[in-house]
Chain A
């Protein structure tokens, strides 16, 4: 009953693993070694990845919500690689693990700026990760979306291009 080894419930690790994760240990090159180290970091991390933000949500708004779970150390806004404007995600780092856990418990799935946001553990911010990884510079999900999401730049990038082309032709 008290012998819980791994965090469970809302503070458990999700299935998702960052595919770009690279170990800082140069000897650690195997895929499996990488995974184990990544998991170890995730279990100790005080950093969260926050997704499904509006492009218009400011750092200060994020700060207000997340500081309700504990003392926020820093926020790194996710930026479009090309335009250097917010592209709908960020990293929130806390001073302590306990505070980060509270954010996972009580903020994941609630609203910020009228959008349901998602929180997940992150292995820790590294330079370069603030940029979107989509082909056009934003987040990958915004390349393929087919819905119209005003707070995230309207239609997905691919669909938007198609629409533009069609209207150019006609």
Chain B
């Protein structure tokens, strides 16, 4: 949607003569009229020098005049505004109300179009759009466009979904949510006109809500226990808020209702009856929105005096959160506009807006399974907010960071990771200034304790953004033990005492050959006579790979390319054939990755980047990376964040690969069918780029192979998880100690993360996983994670 900054087109008093001329000129050209209409309609309700009421009145008259010629276009633009600009919902309902009062048929046609869109959205699973349309229709009752009874009928048919048999809970949830989230707008009107019907609907909803299963709740919680704030499931929380609203006789204090000013005009308008809207019946392919948990960080004691933070069960809290969420949704592609719109929130009462913005944004950032938008969006928008309000926003963010840090012990690992990402990024934009002394407690903690881990990982990320000396200088000296190592490579064949190593002589020869630009064949020739032993001299009985050769060759290559990422890439590219042949089989590939670790263990970033390169150039496979990360050698780093960064980027690459192949197959099929249709119509099919049956078959084989590799990858990962966790649990049991150690928390939550982060994929293989791995004989703590995951869609 175009959002031009220029104000020259607005309906405010600052119009000048020039604009009048322009309008006439454009009027001869239909296309431009449409653009103008769109601009007028989409911008009403933005800041303006004249009142909203007069702007609305003016716009309604303009549209009334254009309706004879541009009715369809106007209706379409209005319907688009319903879903694209829901933060201005009541502005548009008022506009529709005014149009309906002037032209009854026009109101009817708008309803017809919106209802058609709503039915389509329900059928195609666009539930968020549907929710906005339902809310819009509800508010049209307030504007005297719709008859209250007919809206209640729609609500009833939605609530009836809760009585259906054999449907997943997420289906009935969403239909109840559609109704509940519209009630703050229309509750009062329904209460006044149809109290009994409203109450009996609410009874049905209450019955439903009291019987819901909530197995999934632990998988979605940001905090593991009920810390200072209750962590409620979204429907439970909204229900509590609605009950409060009801006990206040459906009066709320947040929604701006411009139609009240037009009561006189609207009262006289004729109302329409909403046609019957029956939810499309359930089918297996329908994906319903996942349940959520409401994130809360602040309560009224945290905010400055003079402003009131509505309690967690006040409907106002929901309405403000909802409005902030809508603004973010509308503006997330333009961080600057987003920040301006957030701070321009037209709060009717004095609310601590900055606190609410920060809470909602962190709520989104920490949302499980995934944040709605790119994590970077939140960081970049926080920076814009700080720029606009340099005297208050940084303070609120600092307070929030302190509070999050204080509660780290019970925070979900995945959220801690996102917190680390954001915090390091934020520091990198503010000269790494932070009152680290306040966090000195973590210096003496167990390295796996969440607070200690948090600070270490933040410093590691700061190191990536800056350089070693900078990080050392930005923290107090007492933090020395938390600092990352100097990120230099390690090359054993040039260390003191390297002379006694089996590969040193060859390594040195290789260095000078590569420096004098030898070919890959020459390099391979040089290593030909190295015995099949481990670098420490121990015999290797596995003929599928030669660990000494791999070690000498790869560590030397990495050493020579260690100057920068580009140098490393160039080295890998030139000697790609050597790497392929040295690591032809799985054991060789894992051996190669271990050499990478030995060389670069002090520089996690380069490890991440190079594993990515090795995967993309098909030197190693996804499953080799997974097996390597679970190997004995990596145990020491197993709870380090970079290990999981590699793991998830590996899974992602695998899935992109599968998606691409799927797309290729689909496109090929489409092309072939199009050609066949053309042929049937007696047209020239244009044979050159129509794929043959054999070509398609080959593509399908490739896809099948990739899909089975993907399935195998998940099997490897989950199986290894089960092994390490079972070992830990058994060890603790036999030693009679508590299994719930910091290490255990990291690992079990990493298991949860694999499920959550890739939930669409994992769901594809859920039956296999249930039959092969997550069987009833594994430990209940591990099985629980699987069951919670399954419950997300049931």
Contacts and interface: CB of A to CB of B under 8 A. Distances in A.
Nearest to B76: A1
Given A1-B1, A8-B2, A59 B375 contact: no
B114 to A, nearest CB: 15
Contacts of A113: 465-466
A135 interface: no
B564 A1 contact: no
Given A64-B605, A74-B566, A75-B565, A1 B428 contact: no
Contact of B606 (A1, A11, A60, A102): A60
A68 B466 CA distance: 15
Contacts of B605: 60, 63-64
User: Which DSSP category, helix, strand, loop or mixed, fits chain B's interface?
Assistant: helix
Interface in A96-116: 102, 105-107, 110-114
A58 interface: yes
Interface string A58-87: 111101110011010011110000000000
Interface in B404-448: 421, 425, 428-429, 431
B77 interface: yes
B326 interface: no
B374 interface: yes
A7 to B, nearest CB: 10
Nearest to A63: B565
A165 B609 CA distance: 47
B1 A59 contact: no
A61 B467 contact: yes
Contact of B431 (A10, A58, A102, A114): A114
B333 A9 contact: yes
B376 interface: yes
A34 B1 CA distance: 31
B563 to A, nearest CB: 9
Contacts of A1: 1-2, 38, 42, 77, 80, 84
Contacts of B429: 110-111
A19 interface: no
Interface string B350-389: 0000000000000000000000001111011001000000
Dominant secondary structure at the A interface = mixed
A10 B338 CA distance: 12
A68 B429 CA distance: 14
Contacts, number: 82
Interface in A1-44: 1-2, 4, 8-11
A106 B376 contact: yes
B564 to A, nearest CB: 5
Contacts of B606: 60
Given A9-B334, A110-B383, A102 B376 contact: yes
A60 B2 contact: no
A68 B467 contact: no
Given A1-B1, A8-B2, A58 B564 contact: yes
B43 interface: no
A60 B335 contact: no
B569 interface: yes
Contact of B374 (A69, A74, A111): A69
A105 B335 contact: yes
B71 interface: no
A10 B334 contact: yes
B793 interface: no
B720 interface: no
B334 A68 contact: no
B464 interface: yes
Contacts of B609: 63
Given A61-B465, A105-B334, A111 B428 contact: yes
A75 B334 contact: no
B38 A60 contact: no
B467 A106 contact: no
B333 A60 contact: no
Interface in B539-570: 564-566, 569
A52 to B, nearest CB: 15
Interface string B38-66: 10001000000000000000000000000
B467 A58 contact: yes
A77 B467 contact: no
Contacts of B428: 65, 111-112
Most buried by A among B2, B376, B421: B376
Given A60-B564, A74-B569, A105-B335, A2 B80 contact: yes
A58 B467 CA distance: 9
A58 B469 CA distance: 14
Nearest to B612: A71
A65 to B, nearest CB: 7
A129 to B, nearest CB: 15
Nearest to B652: A71
Contacts of A102: 374, 376
Contacts of B421: 68
A112 B334 contact: no
Nearest to B424: A64
Contacts of B425: 68
Contacts of A61: 464-467
A102 B84 CA distance: 20
Contacts of B2: 1, 4, 8
Given A9-B333, A111-B428, A59 B380 contact: no
Nearest to A65: B465
A113 B566 CA distance: 20
A77 B566 CA distance: 9
B79 to A, nearest CB: 10
Contacts of A11: 333
A107 B374 CA distance: 12
Nearest to A8: B2
Contacts of A2: 1, 80
B431 A69 contact: no
Contacts of A114: 431
Contacts of A59: 564-566
A10 B334 CA distance: 7
Nearest to A62: B565
A11 B333 CA distance: 9
A65 B569 CA distance: 19
Contacts of B77: 1
Nearest to B3: A9
Contacts of B379: 68, 106
A124 B464 CA distance: 26
Interface in B597-620: 605-606, 609, 612
Contacts of B566: 59, 74-77
Contacts of A112: 428, 465
A63 B463 CA distance: 12
A40 to B, nearest CB: 21
B564 A106 contact: no
Contacts of B333: 9-11, 105
Contacts of B467: 58, 61
Nearest to B380: A106
A58 B487 CA distance: 13
Given A60-B464, A74-B569, A76-B566, 9 more contacts: A1-B1, A11-B333, A64-B464, A65-B428, A71-B612, A75-B565, A75-B566, A106-B380, A107-B376
9 contacts: A1-B2, A1-B84, A9-B337, A59-B566, A60-B606, A65-B465, A69-B374, A106-B335, A111-B428
Of all A-B residue pairs in the complex, the 10 with the closest CB atoms, nearest first, are A64-B464, A106-B380, A68-B376, A111-B429, A106-B376, A1-B80, A59-B564, A9-B334, A59-B565, A1-B1
Interface of B: 1-2, 38, 42, 77, 80, 84, 333-337, 374-377, 379-380, 383, 421, 425, 428-429, 431, 461, 464-467, 564-566, 569, 605-606, 609, 612
